[in-house]
Structure 1
Amino acid sequence: MPLFWRIFLLNAVVLVAAAALLLGPVTVSTPVLLTEAAILTAGLAAMLVANAVLLRVNLAPLHRLSRAMTTADLLRPGVRPAAGGHGEIAELITVFNAMLDRLEQERATSSARALSAQEAERHRVAQELHDEVGQTLTAVLLELGRVAGQAPPGLREELHQAQEATRAGLDEVRRIARRLRPGVLDELGLPSALKALTAEFSGPGLTVRHRLGTDLPPLGHERELVLYRVAQEGLTNIARHAHARHAELALARTPAGVELRVGDDGRGIGHAPEGSGLRGMRERALLIGADLTVSPCPEGGTEIRLTVPVRSRRP
């Protein structure tokens, strides 16, 4: 029965009962007698209590739905309000849950297309940096070396400085190309790529250690790429914002799949809102059905955990 008719019939029953009592054994005198005032007060109180209880019970699912609407996040899927209540309230909650399912599916599809296009563009840019810019700088470096060998002593030192600047630029171009498209991931696999990643971020102000399991299950290219990108983004955030001295990257096998952990001893994320880096990690995690959590480290700093489910192959 719709909520309107339940409230209407309850009020009708109370009012009809009150009218029957007034027309029957109960009368209202002038001045009002104490017993008559008590009966009218009790009837009014009963009607108010009954209405309050009915509204509280029937509108409770709407309060849960309101909280779900204000806290819904497509990057944290799966949380749904229970389809409680009756009639149109239960139908409203069911329609809202169906809308969330559709939005999450559309978000996952669009994110997959966007990230696929992003990886393709990264591959193209990395290829052009390696083939075009890298070869050009290599040719300039060789030409400078040839000219320096024939130049007078006064000019030779300046040419050597130009050589060093060109060599530094060539190394930077190669480093950017490796970050855009990690060739070691395709050639040597995920553990070797993560080792190279920790070596790249280790420096005078930051020491990055790695703990990589040796019994990892077969992951596939898509899962390996997501794990690598999340580790890369996590270490990038540590190097840029955490003011940490030590960081650790760990990859281990779990009963359900694998778990990647990136932690540091920096200042922590605090109550700052999530930036584009963390949201990008969550979007990548959704592509492979993984779970990403960001929490404080026991020793300070921030810890990122990516739990990737892997289906075991039947023999």
Structure 2
Amino acid sequence: MSLFWRIFALNAVVLGAATALLLWAPVTVSVPVLLTEAVILVGGLAVMLVANAALLRLGLAPLDRLTKLMTTVDLLRPGQRLPASGGGGVAELIRTFNAMLERLEQERAASSARALLAQEAERRRIAQELHDEVGQSMTAILLGLKRSADDVPEPQRRELQELQEITRESLDEVRRLVRRLRPGVLDDLGLVSALTSLSEDFATHTGLLVSRRFDTDLPPLAPETELVLYRVAQESLTNVARHADAGRVTVALRRAADGVVLTVTDDGSGIEALREGAGIRGMRERALLVGGSLDITPAPRAGTRVQLTAPLARKQL
């Protein structure tokens, strides 16, 4: 029975009972109203109001839960559903809302996958151009400076050697950008070597102490999963350097029952009210790309822990 007919039926029962009492029961209303008559009238009104309030509370409770979910739902946290409680139109409304959420989550996952894959392709193209064009040009400049420095007197030689050093540092920076844009070691040597290189490079440029804990029996992963794990670790370390005010970072990769778990933990200032910017939401989108889940929580002692759980089988989008 729908909410409308339940409320209508309750009101009909109460009003019918009141009409029957007036027609067939020895109930009258005097002028002025006697105390007993006033008690009966007020009592009947109270019963009708309480019954209506109880039915409305019971019938509208699913709508209240639906309203709360509609204001807090996040498509980057899939699986938020309401049980189709209530009756009639209310249950149908909840089922329709759940079906709409399912469609929106699928469309968001598909669009995120397309955007992230396009982003990776663009990064690969830029990294290739930096390596082939800028890197080779700077290498040629470096060799030319070296040859020139060998043929000039001492004062000019010192200046050319300084230019060599500046060019060499710039070339190293270009190579570092190429590794960040497209980690070739990930394609050539695998995830563990890529995370090791990433953490060493991070420690060199930030001065933070980085420890690694990698299981030796890690299962084989799909290339998309390895890339997502690498990018989440990269973004987590970047956030540590920018915001955490930490002195030590731990990067761990362990085997789980049905996948792998990446954990990046720092001993910094921690989080009180997490504000999800573009970086964190990007990590969540990457996790959804492989059917994984991302959790950002305070570390056991101090700091922040970022944990990505990725399944072995890639989720079909």
Normalized against structure 2, the TM-score is what?
0.96
1:244-274: per-residue Cα shift (whole Å, max 9, x none)? 1110100011112111100111112321411
2:18 aligned partner, one-letter code: A
2:68 aligned partner, one-letter code: R
Deviation for aligned residue 1:186: 0.5
Alignment of 1:99-110 (within 5 A): 99-110=100-111
The match for 2:298 is 296
Hey, what's the Cα distance between the residues in 2 that align with 1:2 and 1:217?
A: 53
Q: Is contact 2:222-2:312 (8 Å) kept?
A: no
1:238 to 237, 240, 244: 240
The match for 1:52 is 53
SS at match of 2:87: coil
> Within the alignment, does 1:134 sit opposite 2:135 as a pair?
yes
> Within the alignment, does 1:281 sit opposite 2:283 as a pair?
yes
Normalized against structure 1, the TM-score is what?
0.96
The match for 1:10 is 10
Q: Is contact 1:213-1:253 (8 Å) kept?
A: yes
The match for 1:39 is 40
Deviation for aligned residue 1:79: 1.4
Q: Is contact 1:22-1:28 (8 Å) kept?
A: no
> Within the alignment, does 1:254 sit opposite 2:256 as a pair?
yes
Q: Is contact 1:209-1:249 (8 Å) kept?
A: yes
> Within the alignment, does 1:72 sit opposite 2:73 as a pair?
yes
> Within the alignment, does 1:211 sit opposite 2:223 as a pair?
no
SS at match of 1:202: helix
1:35-67: per-residue Cα shift (whole Å, max 9, x none)? 211211111111011101110110110111111
Unaligned runs of 5+ in 1: none
The match for 1:95 is 96
Alignment of 1:184-203 (within 5 A): 184-203=185-204
2:3 aligned partner, one-letter code: L
The match for 2:144 is 143
The match for 2:307 is 305
Count of residues in Structure 1 that have an aligned counterpart in Structure 2: 312
Q: Is contact 1:242-1:301 (8 Å) kept?
A: yes
Deviation for aligned residue 1:157: 0.9
Deviation for aligned residue 1:226: 0.6
Hey, what's the Cα distance between the residues in 1 that align with 2:274 and 2:19?
A: 62
Hey, what's the Cα distance between the residues in 2 that align with 1:189 and 1:136?
A: 30
2:161 aligned partner, one-letter code: H
Q: Percent identity?
A: 65
Hey, what's the Cα distance between the residues in 1 that align with 2:184 and 2:120?
A: 13
The match for 1:220 is 222
Hey, what's the Cα distance between the residues in 2 that align with 1:100 and 1:152?
A: 75
Hey, what's the Cα distance between the residues in 2 that align with 1:30 and 1:2?
A: 42
Q: Is contact 1:258-1:309 (8 Å) kept?
A: yes
1:220-251: per-residue Cα shift (whole Å, max 9, x none)? 10111111111111111111221111101000
The match for 1:169 is 170
2:71 aligned partner, one-letter code: T
SS at match of 2:294: strand
Hey, what's the Cα distance between the residues in 2 that align with 1:140 and 1:201?
A: 28
Deviation for aligned residue 1:299: 2.4
Query: Runs of 4 or more off by more than 2 Å in structure 1?
Result: none
Deviation for aligned residue 1:34: 2.1
2:104 aligned partner, one-letter code: L
CA RMSD of aligned residues (A): 1.3
Hey, what's the Cα distance between the residues in 2 that align with 1:250 and 1:5?
A: 59
The match for 1:156 is 157
Q: Structure 1 residues 129-138 or 268-277, which shifts more? A: 268-277
1:113-135: per-residue Cα shift (whole Å, max 9, x none)? 00000000000000000000000
Q: Structure 1 residues 269-278 or 248-257, which shifts more? A: 269-278
Q: Is contact 1:291-1:306 (8 Å) kept?
A: yes
Unaligned runs of 5+ in 2: none
